[in-house]
Amino acid sequence: MQVTETFKRVLGAEHPSTLSSIAGLASTFRNQGWWKEAEELDVQVIGIRNRVLGAEHPDTLTSMANLAFTLESQSRNKEAISLMKACSQLRERILGPHHPDTESSLKALNKWKIENTEIEF
């Protein structure tokens, strides 16, 4: 948290390194089960990246996937699947079907769909 605050102070809240630091902190929170805190940071990073870089920038799409994982961690499966589906479609169109990020998001999406057969897609 101190590193993130230092990045904000020195580089600014919208600098790519600051956003990467915030995203890393969100990932740490997610891995520790602090899902509310992780979600808040994920949403913050998506908002800034979307505004600064655009909705189709690969970093914005990474943030979208991160939020989907946070939602899935909270058993908010319908929301997670919907977000990852949108992310996968964008990644396939922008990065191509064989890009590692596209394949990763499709793998997660398919796994979640299998685990949640009761959710209508």
* Cβ neighbours for 106, distance < 8 A, ≥ 6 positions apart: 88, 92
Domain assignment of residue 59, given as a range: 2-115
Q: Indicate the DSSP class of residue 119.
A: S
| pLDDT classification of 119: cutoffs 50, 70, 90 | low
Work out whether the CA dihedral 49, 55, 57, 59 comes out positive or negative: positive
Residue 120 has pLDDT above 70, yes or no: no
The domain that contains 47 carries what CATH number?
1.25.40.10
Closest CA to 49 of 91, 17, 85: 17
Q: pLDDT tens digits for 2-61? A: 888 888 888 888 998 999 999 999 999 999 999 999 999 999 999 999 999 999 999 999
Taking the model in full, what pTM does it have? Answer: 0.89
Domain count for the chain: 1
